[in-house]
Structure 1
Amino acid sequence: METINTTALPNVSNMDLNHCDAYCRTILTTLYSVVLLGGTTGTVLMSYMMFKRSSQSVIATIIFNIMVLHSVLLVSLPFRLSYYLSVIWELGTFTCRVVSSIIYWHMYFSFVFYIAIVILRILIYFKKLQTQQLQKYHAVVLSIIIWMVGSLIFLPIFFLQYGTDPSYSEKQRCFEFYRDLSCREIIIMNYSMIVIMMTIVVILFLIQMAVILQLIKSLWPDMWAHQEYRAQIKSFFFLLVIVICFIPHHTFRVYFIQNYSGRENSKLVLYNEICIALTTVCCLDMLCFIGGVIH
């Protein structure tokens, strides 16, 4: 790969990376560092607790899948931090595409597993599913289906669409694939994902709130003494993770698509990058469990 002259580096920093300047990179470096430290700590401690308890429940199996997703994302974060600190990407276009795509892969797979937990607990509450009927192999089968279906959707998009424009290999830069939003197919795909996610979250959020309010009404004032109430609160926690970490990105994505014209717009790109980085904050969910936010 052609090297960049050190005398030309200031121009690269000021011109080529004007859309993600020093202020932008400082915010992203700080956010990703917090996620890397907190996420790694939470995942390691949660793994130890699950191994110690040897839980065979369906929910535990799904949470294990979420921890695997978090682990893969956390491994990719040092590459992002290195780029934002050095301002140069030297690992090639394909590696850049892989590291960049992992953040979306992690977000959508985590979303599916979070939703799986919420739906399972809602079905149990409404007596549509009996806890005794759920065995570990059910969760294993469900996990395999999610991984297979997700991979069949994700891999073709990655290899055929994501970051394949030859212009991306012209400079030692990375994580600029938002320029693909000028492509009609990518725009349609983004809008579709936004509508699907928003619809699912709104419906489940309303149902979950109704369930919790009903439990409070029937169990007050000793609702925390009941396992069923605590289980629904845990489900609500996962919905909050989705709302806090994933929804801002998809909400801003609508504005970004409508206003990004291909010209450099440092503010627009800064907010977009922050919203993308915010999706990784869900890695702190295990730290919340360890810290006692959800007992």
Structure 2
Amino acid sequence: MTPEATSLGHKHFDVIKCNAGPTVLDDEDPKCLPSKCQREERKGVTYKVFSYSTTLLLTGHCKYSTFPDASSTTKMGNYNQTCVVNDAIAYVTLTVLYTTVLVGGTIGIIIMTLLLYRTNTRSLTTTVVINLLVVHSIFLLTVPFRIIYYVDRQWYFGFKFCKIISAMIHIHTYLSFIFYVAMLIIRYISYFKQKDKIEFYRKLHSVVASAAVWIIIILVIFPLFYVRYGWSSDDNSTGQCFRFHTALRNPAVINLNYVLVVVVVSVICLLLVVQIFIIVRVVKKLRKSALDHQEFWAQLKSLFFILVMIICFIPYHMFRIYFIHHANECYFYNEIFLGITALSCLDLLSFAVQTYFQKVLKHMPCTLTCIC
């Protein structure tokens, strides 16, 4: 049987079936055919033309690509269709998602800044919240560039700046995760040691501690991401950005992703178990008067931050397991799940709203008693 043929540019290519996905084979160089691939017989099957990445296709001696371009929405034969998504819908979804993050995150930062203005900055918990606020603020500065790209579908700011903007959402995700965990551990230590607060001896100590953390972030984490993140520009043709998934062909990168998934999911689950245990103890101790006690509300606030991690971080990391092996065809799904991690910027806004309702609910039992 003769394999189905299609054309790309001014050249003629054979479409073949490969275990790794559809492949384009240059008929001028038959040696390019990978040993694990076999020609697909026609047998009356109608194939649709693929949109292939010319950057990948025209590199090296063998001009073939084992993956279709991420922007292609048409599929061929029995090719994996679990990640099919319309480009227009994906771009609109990402635009709405990041606009919500930008507006809600900015409002939350302003409100929390006002609330923290008169707060005791010697408290370890307050120090962590301030650092979390800084992380959110830095990330929000990069969001407008993403929105411009998703609206215009064109990147105007160069490849190096694309790397920085793309890396920032990953830096934001894991720094936020670290600060959430630190804050919860401090709260747990305070609860089990029956201390009202854990504080620095002086305000200067909290400033020095925060400065030390940011020196490490600036001198170690940022340069490491800049050098190692997006080491290959093969996925980013002129005018494109946020396409660095070819790095997932590297076994070391794959292993790192698996480690991050296991660590993040395991830590969140462990924190949730501990938090539920504490809340049950507090409710048994206080019983019907739980709503009147600050201890109960403090534990609900801790539970709130765990829920933020569950909603924002777990979906992305669970999907990452699948994405590692389906990087090209699931590009937009990965971008949407990654965008959901940015919703953690809304935590400060939600925290402020929660504080307001706490004050309202604390007066409700008294009001009901007076009415009766």
TM-score bracket relative to the smaller structure = 0.7 to 0.9
Residues 205 and 239 in structure 1, CA contact (< 8 A), matched pair in contact too? yes
1:284 aligns with 2:338: no
Structure-2 residue corresponding to 1:181: 248
CA positional deviation for 1:129: 6.2
- Deviation per CA, 1:100-131: give whole Å up to 9, x if none: 11101111111111111100011111118673
Structure-2 residue corresponding to 1:3: none
| Percent of pairs with identical residues | 36
The 1:151–1:197 alpha-carbon spacing in structure 2 relative to 1, beyond 3 Å, is: farther
2:322 to 255, 260, 264: 255
SS in 2 for 1:43: helix
1:64 aligns with 2:103: no
CA positional deviation for 1:181: 1.0
**Structure 1 unaligned residues grouped into runs of 5+:** 1-10
Structure-2 residue corresponding to 1:160: 227
CA positional deviation for 1:62: 1.1
SS in 2 for 1:167: coil
CA positional deviation for 1:149: 4.5
- Bigger drift between 56-65 and 122-131 goes to 122-131
SS in 1 for 2:324: helix
Structure-2 residue corresponding to 1:100: 166
**Structure 2 unaligned residues grouped into runs of 5+:** 1-51, 54-68, 74-85, 359-372
Structure-2 residue corresponding to 1:4: none
User: Which protein has the larger Cα radius of gyration, Structure 1 or Structure 2?
Assistant: 2
The 1:232–1:140 alpha-carbon spacing in structure 2 relative to 1, beyond 3 Å, is: farther
Structure-1 residue corresponding to 2:72: 18
Q: Which amino acid aligns with 2:253?
A: I
Question: More relative contact order in 1 or in 2 (CA 8 Å, sep 6+)?
Answer: 1
Structure-2 residue corresponding to 1:36: 102
- Deviation per CA, 1:13-72: give whole Å up to 9, x if none: xx7733771111000001111111111111112112222x24322222211111111111
What is the CA–CA distance in structure 2 between the aligned matches of 1:137 and 1:206, rounded to whole Å? 35
SS in 1 for 2:234: helix
2:152 to 57, 64, 86: 86
What is the CA–CA distance in structure 1 between the aligned matches of 2:199 and 2:111, rounded to whole Å? 30
Structure-2 residue corresponding to 1:222: 289
What is the CA–CA distance in structure 2 between the aligned matches of 1:217 and 1:151, rounded to whole Å? 46
Q: TM-score, normalised by structure 1?
A: 0.85
What is the CA–CA distance in structure 1 between the aligned matches of 2:194 and 2:354, rounded to whole Å? 30
CA positional deviation for 1:146: 3.9
Q: TM-score, normalised by structure 2?
A: 0.69
CA positional deviation for 1:157: 3.5
Residues 62 and 139 in structure 1, CA contact (< 8 A), matched pair in contact too? no
The 1:24–1:238 alpha-carbon spacing in structure 2 relative to 1, beyond 3 Å, is: same
What is the CA–CA distance in structure 2 between the aligned matches of 1:148 and 1:251, rounded to whole Å? 31
Structure-2 residue corresponding to 1:5: none
What is the CA–CA distance in structure 2 between the aligned matches of 1:139 and 1:107, rounded to whole Å? 23
Q: Which amino acid aligns with 1:275?
A: F
CA positional deviation for 1:158: 1.6
Q: Which structure has the highest helix share of the two?
A: 1
Residues 142 and 165 in structure 2, CA contact (< 8 A), matched pair in contact too? yes
Residues 120 and 126 in structure 2, CA contact (< 8 A), matched pair in contact too? yes
Residues 128 and 179 in structure 2, CA contact (< 8 A), matched pair in contact too? yes
Alignment of 1:167-206 (within 5 A): 167-168=234-235, 170-206=237-273
RMSD: 2.4
What is the CA–CA distance in structure 1 between the aligned matches of 2:170 and 2:318, rounded to whole Å? 15
What is the CA–CA distance in structure 2 between the aligned matches of 1:88 and 1:132, rounded to whole Å? 49
CA positional deviation for 1:168: 4.7
The 1:103–1:196 alpha-carbon spacing in structure 2 relative to 1, beyond 3 Å, is: same
The 1:182–1:16 alpha-carbon spacing in structure 2 relative to 1, beyond 3 Å, is: closer
What is the CA–CA distance in structure 2 between the aligned matches of 1:17 and 1:194, rounded to whole Å? 26
Residues 232 and 246 in structure 2, CA contact (< 8 A), matched pair in contact too? no
Q: Which amino acid aligns with 1:222?
A: S
1:275 aligns with 2:341: no
CA positional deviation for 1:258: 2.7
The 1:238–1:16 alpha-carbon spacing in structure 2 relative to 1, beyond 3 Å, is: closer
Residues 38 and 284 in structure 1, CA contact (< 8 A), matched pair in contact too? yes
Residues 93 and 168 in structure 1, CA contact (< 8 A), matched pair in contact too? no
